[in-house]
């Protein structure tokens, strides 16, 4: 069986599709008892239906001896057949498939579909595709430094190019592995001592199917996925659970974003990711702030001489000056705290745990801003690194509600703002 070479078709113009049918034993051209032609898009029949104006077409034996006509499957000579197809102008540009199916031999054996791909050089580009977008929603978003807006892959929906993104599987969303830490064997005894142990980075693998209106748009989707998964930066993977959550991810080391191609217009990705922070965060983030006067302190009576460079925050701040900060998740989260002056010896106090992050040698003016990053355990005054007191306790927000307020000696107009996201593990 020999097919015609894949020349380019043009909408509205005649395009010749031909077939030479040989007997496999004798090697000579022979006529099948039945012959059918179907034209499909992106894959072979019957995996996808015939395109508009693409058949099926049958050889009926009425067109013979070299008299081909558009729209009629014709026999030129023994074993030689041709069909003049006119693509309708509304067909999308891309790669099409001619599917020949023949019946031959004393037992009416079925051969086919015998497939040949050929391009349609131009055509109508539809705005959307009717592909399946699946059950799960979410997104993969990354802001490259060279673009003014982020790259976004919308799982469970169709993007502006008409590409349908299906999130088929997510692994590693259940629990991160245990990282550093071990059980130390006891000396001359059974068992061991439980040393401190912590969660390691979360390993996530996504299986994603992109169904495009054309092969060209499929290739654009391939390029988008490769760009949206950074190597040394972080992207945001959002999973559309009943309570949507986000993890900050990049490519897993020494692993590739692989691609397979179920059809000419589809691509399936396997995306290996690592989240350095194992937490899953609520989205969007929350924020609360209050302008506070100096809190009323209830100093403790200490059973030793005064003069130590230590101050103890009161256990319960005045309710009018405290923020109620709620972590609705199941794991501790680490907020970003912003303090604005005027304030002397400012301190971010967690009244629920009795911990504080203090700056005993610092005085904030009315235009000064002190930002505390509790995850990195670093503070910046007007953008310049400023160390906290060595005896500070870099507290976290445990699940539930915590009372947070501004300690030290704030003046009227000073304020504290807490920004956080509820966290799950």
CATH of the domain at 351: 2.60.120.860
Joined together, the tokens standing for residue 220 give 């654009």
Which of 24-33, 49-58, 248-257, 270-279 shows the highest mean pLDDT? 270-279
Comparing 301 with 118, the larger pLDDT belongs to 118
In a domain, 356, yes or no: yes
Q: Are residues 267 and 327 in the same domain?
A: no
Closest CA to 353 of 414, 392, 292, 398: 398
pLDDT at 268: 96
Report the distance separating Cα 167 and Cα 240, nearest Å.
11
Look up the CATH number of the domain holding residue 145: 2.40.30
Q: Please name the residue ranges forming H helices in 145-197.
A: none
Look up the CATH number of the domain holding residue 27: 2.60.40.1930
Q: Are residues 153 and 264 in the same domain?
A: yes
Joined together, the tokens standing for residue 9 give 């078709």
Mean pLDDT (whole number) for 192-205: 92
pLDDT at 126: 44
Joined together, the tokens standing for residue 198 give 């912590």
pLDDT at 327: 97
In a domain, 126, yes or no: no
Report the distance separating Cα 290 and Cα 410, nearest Å.
12
Q: What is the DSSP string of 51-74?
A: PTT---EE--S-S-SS---BT-EE
Listed range (3-7, 261-265, 415-419) with the worst mean pLDDT: 3-7
Q: Are residues 106 and 154 in the same domain?
A: no
Q: Are residues 396 and 414 in the same domain?
A: yes
Q: Are residues 96 and 159 in the same domain?
A: no
State how far Cα 84 lies from the chain centre: 45
Neighbouring-strand partners of residue 79: none
Joined together, the tokens standing for residue 291 give 């302008």
Joined together, the tokens standing for residue 254 give 């020494």
Q: Are residues 52 and 162 in the same domain?
A: no
pLDDT for 284-336, tens place per residue? Answer: 889 999 886 544 555 555 555 555 555 555 444 555 578 999 999 999 999 99
Q: Are residues 99 and 143 in the same domain?
A: no
Q: Is the pLDDT of residue 125 over 50?
A: no
pLDDT for 37-59, tens place per residue? Answer: 999 987 888 888 899 888 899 98
Is 0.85 surpassed by the pTM of this model?
no
In a domain, 369, yes or no: yes
Q: Are residues 294 and 369 in the same domain?
A: yes
Task: Give the total number of structural domains in the chain.
Answer: 3
Burial class (CB in 10 A: 0-12, 13-18, 19+), 376: exposed
CB atoms under 10 Å from CB of 38, counted, come to 23
CB 211, CB 132: distance < 8 Å: yes
pLDDT band at residue 4 using 50, 70 and 90 as cut-offs: very low
Q: Are residues 258 and 161 in the same domain?
A: yes
In a domain, 183, yes or no: no
pLDDT at 129: 44
pLDDT at 1: 39
Q: Return the HEC string of 214-250.
A: CHHHHHHHHHHHHHHCCCCCCEEEEECCCCCEEEEEE
The residue to which tokens 């693509």 are assigned? 87
Mean pLDDT (whole number) for 378-390: 96
Please provide the average confidence, as pLDDT, over all residues in the chain: 87
pLDDT for 132-171, tens place per residue? Answer: 788 899 999 999 999 999 999 999 999 988 999 999 999 9
Q: Please report, rounded to a whole number, the percentage of residues in the chain having pLDDT higher than 70.
A: 87
Q: Are residues 147 and 270 in the same domain?
A: yes
Q: Which domain holds residue 267?
A: 138-175+199-278
Comparing 66 with 208, the larger pLDDT belongs to 208
Q: Please report, rounded to a whole number, the percentage of residues in the chain having pLDDT higher than 90.
A: 55
Comparing 339 with 91, the larger pLDDT belongs to 339
In a domain, 6, yes or no: yes
In a domain, 407, yes or no: yes
Q: Are residues 334 and 359 in the same domain?
A: yes
pLDDT at 48: 84
Q: Are residues 236 and 320 in the same domain?
A: no
């Amino acid at each position: 069986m020999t097919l015609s070479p894949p020349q380019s078709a043009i909408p509205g113009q005649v395009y010749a599709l031909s077939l030479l049918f040989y007997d496999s034993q004798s090697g000579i051209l022979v006529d099948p008892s039945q012959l059918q032609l179907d034209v499909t898009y992106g894959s072979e029949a019957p995996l996808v239906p015939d395109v508009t104006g693409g058949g099926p077409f049958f050889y009926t034996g009425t067109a013979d001896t070299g008299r081909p006509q558009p729209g009629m499957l014709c026999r030129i000579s023994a074993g030689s057949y041709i069909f003049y197809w006119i693509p309708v102008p509304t067909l999308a540009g891309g790669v099409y498939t001619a599917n020949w199916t023949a019946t031959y031999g004393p037992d009416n054996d079925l051969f086919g579909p015998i497939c040949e791909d050929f391009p349609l050089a131009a055509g109508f580009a539809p705005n959307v595709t009717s592909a399946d977008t699946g059950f799960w929603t979410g997104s993969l978003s990354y802001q490259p430094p060279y673009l003014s807006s982020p790259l976004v892959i919308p799982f469970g929906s169709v993007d502006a190019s008409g590409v349908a993104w299906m999130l088929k599987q997510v692994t590693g969303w259940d629990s991160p592995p245990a990282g550093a830490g071990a059980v130390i064997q006891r000396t001359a005894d059974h068992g061991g001592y439980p040393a401190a142990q912590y969660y390691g980075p979360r390993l996530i693998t996504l299986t994603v199917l992109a169904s495009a209106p054309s092969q060209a748009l499929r290739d654009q989707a391939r390029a988008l996925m490769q760009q949206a998964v950074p190597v040394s930066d972080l992207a945001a993977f959002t999973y559309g659970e009943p309570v949507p959550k986000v993890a900050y991810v990049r490519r897993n080391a020494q692993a590739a974003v692989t691609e397979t191609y179920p059809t000419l217009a589809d691509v399936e990705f396997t995306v290996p990711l690592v989240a350095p922070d194992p937490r899953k965060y609520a989205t969007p983030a929350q924020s609360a702030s209050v302008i506070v006067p100096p809190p009323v302190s209830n100093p403790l009576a200490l059973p030793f001489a005064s003069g130590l460079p230590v101050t103890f925050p009161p256990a319960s701040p005045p309710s009018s000056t405290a923020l109620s900060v709620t972590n609705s998740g199941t794991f501790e989260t680490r907020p970003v705290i912003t303090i604005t002056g005027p304030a002397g010896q400012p301190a971010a106090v967690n009244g629920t745990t009795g911990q504080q992050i203090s700056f005993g040698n610092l005085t904030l003016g009315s235009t000064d801003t002190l930002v505390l990053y509790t995850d990195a355990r670093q503070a910046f005054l007007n953008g310049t690194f400023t160390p906290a007191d060595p005896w500070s306790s870099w507290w976290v927000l445990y699940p539930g509600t915590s009372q947070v307020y501004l300690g030290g000696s704030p003046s009227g107009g000073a304020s504290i703002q807490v920004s956080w996201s509820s966290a799950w593990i």
